Copies of this chain bind each other. A is one copy, B any other.
Amino acid sequence: MRTISENKCFGGVQGVYAHPSEATGCEMTFGLFLPAEAAQGPVPVLWYLSGLTCTHENAMTKAGAQKWAAEAGIALVFPDTSPRGEGVANDPAYDLGQGAGFYVNATQDPWAPHFKMWDYVAEELPRIVTAAFDIDEDRQAITGHSMGGHGALTLAMRLPGRFRSVSAFAPIANPTASDWGRKQFTAYLGADEGKWLDHDATHLMRELGFDGEVLIDQGASDQFLDLLRPEALSQAMAARRQPGTFRMQAGYDHSYFFVSTFIPDHIAFHAEALWR
C-alpha cells in the first residue's frame, strides 16, 4: 500500500492510499479519515459508499463529514466506485463501467475480469484497512449516496452482524425496477433477473431486513426520483416493521449540498450505535 497524501484535518488525519487489489485485479485508491482518538487505540468506523461518476474523492472533499466524525471519534472510509485503469473495461455512458460498479461481482464479459466491487468493499478493503490502521472491526457502520446508498443497504442486509447501523442518502432503492439497475445488472450479472435480487435493497428489506436501526434521507426535489424509487423502499421498511426512520426532505435535490446538510444527523445516528 502506498500513501498518496495525508492532511491534518479536525485534529485527525485525512489520508488517501492506493493498493494492488486481488478482487479487482488493478490498483485501487481509497480515502480514510482517522480521528485524533485513533492514536490511543482502535476507533469505530463508518464506511461511505459513493454514487455514479464518483471516485474516492468526492465525498471526502464535499460531504463535510470529517468535522462530525472527529467530534464522534469515528473513522471514515471512502472507497472508489469501480476498478479503473488501462485494461479495465469501460463504456461511454456515465452509468456503466468505470465509476459505476454498482457494488456487484460481474459475471458477464467484458466486465467479469475486474468488476468485483462486492468482494472489494465487503471483504478485501475491510481486511486491508483493519490490518493497516487502528480500526475496531467489531464496531462498523455504513452509509452511502445514490448508487452508494444502494451499496450500503445491500451490504448491511446481506452481511448480518457486520454493521451496527446503516443509513443512506437518496439511495437507488429498487434497482431491479429502475433504469438505474436493470441496464447495469443485465450487463454485469446477465439477463436472469433472479440473480439481481441480492442487489435490490427493497427486495432485501422485504426478505431479510436489517438487525439494527436504519436511517434514510431523500430529497423531495431530487431530479432522479423516478430512478431512485424511494416509495418502494419506504413501503418495504414499514411492512417489515423495520426499526428506523425514513425522511422526505422538502426542497433538497440529489447533490452534495443535500448530503452535507444531513451528514451531521447521519454521523450522530451511527455514533449512537457505534459507541453503545
Q: Which residues of A contact B (CB under 8 A)?
A: 213, 218, 220-221, 225, 230-239, 241-251
Contact = CB atoms under 8 A, between A and B. Distances in A.
Nearest to A250: B243
B241 A225 contact: yes
A62 to B, nearest CB: 24
A230 B239 CA distance: 7
A12 to B, nearest CB: 32
19 contacts: A213-B250, A220-B241, A225-B241, A230-B238, A231-B235, A231-B236, A231-B238, A233-B238, A234-B234, A234-B237, A234-B238, A235-B238, A237-B248, A238-B248, A241-B248, A243-B250, A244-B248, A245-B245, A246-B247
Copies in the complex: 2
Give the interface SS of chain A, mostly helix, strand, loop or mixed: mixed
A249 B238 contact: no
A245 B246 contact: yes
B238 A218 contact: yes
Contacts of A235: 231-232, 234-235, 238
A235 B246 CA distance: 11
Contacts of A250: 213, 243
A239 B232 CA distance: 8
A218 to B, nearest CB: 7
Contacts of A246: 234, 238, 245-247
Contacts of A249: 243
Contacts of A239: 231
Contacts of A242: 220, 248
Contacts of A248: 237-238, 241-245
Nearest to A233: B238
Nearest to A217: B245
A234 to B, nearest CB: 4
